[in-house]
Amino acid sequence: MNDTDETVLTVDAKPWPIGIDIARTAVIVVDMQNDFGTKSGIFDRAGIDISMIQAAIAPTARVVAAGREAGMKVIYLKMAFRSDLSDAGPPDSPNATRHMHFGAGKAVLAPNGEQSRLLIRDTWNTDIVDALKPQAGDVVIYKHRFSGFYETELDATLKQLGTKYLIVTGCTTSVCVESTIRDAMFRDYSCVLLADCAAEPIGCELPRSNHEASLLVIQTLFGWVSESAAFMRALAASHVAA
């Protein structure tokens, strides 16, 4: 603890280690919801491989639990539209057409036997995956575009909390995660993406995947890239110092 009552973690990251003040740090969980990470979600129904998203759940759960215990605010973002799709954009807009192509709004039967709809608010499909369920005190914010900042209360919430540093997790790396990090950087937040807590099905079969390409551009221009183990080591070191 220093003279200003800050607890600063030094997290090993690329392009260089970054010091973050615990009291001014939030953990962001991007779109880790049934539609993307669970069987019978919109991705799985479209034949998209979700194994890499499922693999990111366990390290994300450890990060969320550790961050929460350290006093960091945990903020969940959920990609979802209103029931009438009024916030999806005009029918011929890229946002609407891309999501409708995957069946957004379609009525389906959820694995629990309930009636549900793909990518629609307040349904099983847009619930956070079971292993990452929000707890009391966490913040849950709906978004209707790739970026978590577009027409949402995310920026106002972070400012109210006095947040400067964001530990970012979630899916998908090159779409909603990168879009959110870009917008965060434009608003002067310092973002640390934990690579093993993020996943991207698009381009996973390429010599350099979209996931890897996003890691490179983020660590080069938009923030920092680290791993869950490095974050946990930094937290452990701060406990020893305290």
pLDDT in tens, 148-195: 999 999 999 999 999 999 999 999 999 999 999 999 999 999 999 999
Helix residue ranges, H only, the chain: 34-37, 42-45, 51-55, 57-69, 94-101, 154-161, 178-186, 210-217, 228-241
Catalytic residue among 35, 78, 127, 143, which?
143
Query: Per the residue annotation, which of 31, 35, 127, 183 is the catalytic one?
Result: 31
Verify whether residue 143 is a known catalytic residue.
Answer: yes
Identify the DSSP state of 164.
Answer: -
The tokens for 184 are 């965060």
Catalytic residue among 171, 176, 191, 197: 176
d(C-alpha 164, C-alpha 184), whole Å: 10
Helix (H, G, I), strand (E, B) or coil at 176: helix
Q: How much is the pLDDT for 241?
A: 57
pTM beyond 0.85: the answer is yes
Pairing state between β 115-117 and 139-143: unpaired
Domains in the chain (CATH in brackets) are 8-80+132-241 (3.40.50.850)
Report how far apart, in Å, the C-alpha atoms of 178 and of each of 79, 216, 220 are: 14, 11, 13
pLDDT at 207: 83
Give CA–CA dist 162/187, Å, rounded.
13
Which of 192, 200, 190, 199 lies closest to 232, judged by CA?
192
Supply the pLDDT for residue 242. 54
**Does the annotation count 130 as an active-site position?**
no
Whether the CB-CB separation of 128 and 134 falls below 8 Å is answered with yes
pLDDT given for residue 143 in this prediction:
98
Cα gap 109→51, rounded to integer Å: 22
* 204 belongs to the catalytic site: no
Distance, CA of 54 to CA of 66 (rounded, Å): 20
pLDDT at 1: 37
10-residue stretch averages of pLDDT, the chain, 242 residues long: 66 98 98 98 97 98 97 98 98 96 96 96 98 98 98 98 98 98 98 98 87 97 98 87 56
pLDDT of residue 154: 98
Residue 129 DSSP label: P
* Opening angle at CA 142, ends 127 and 149, nearest 5: 140
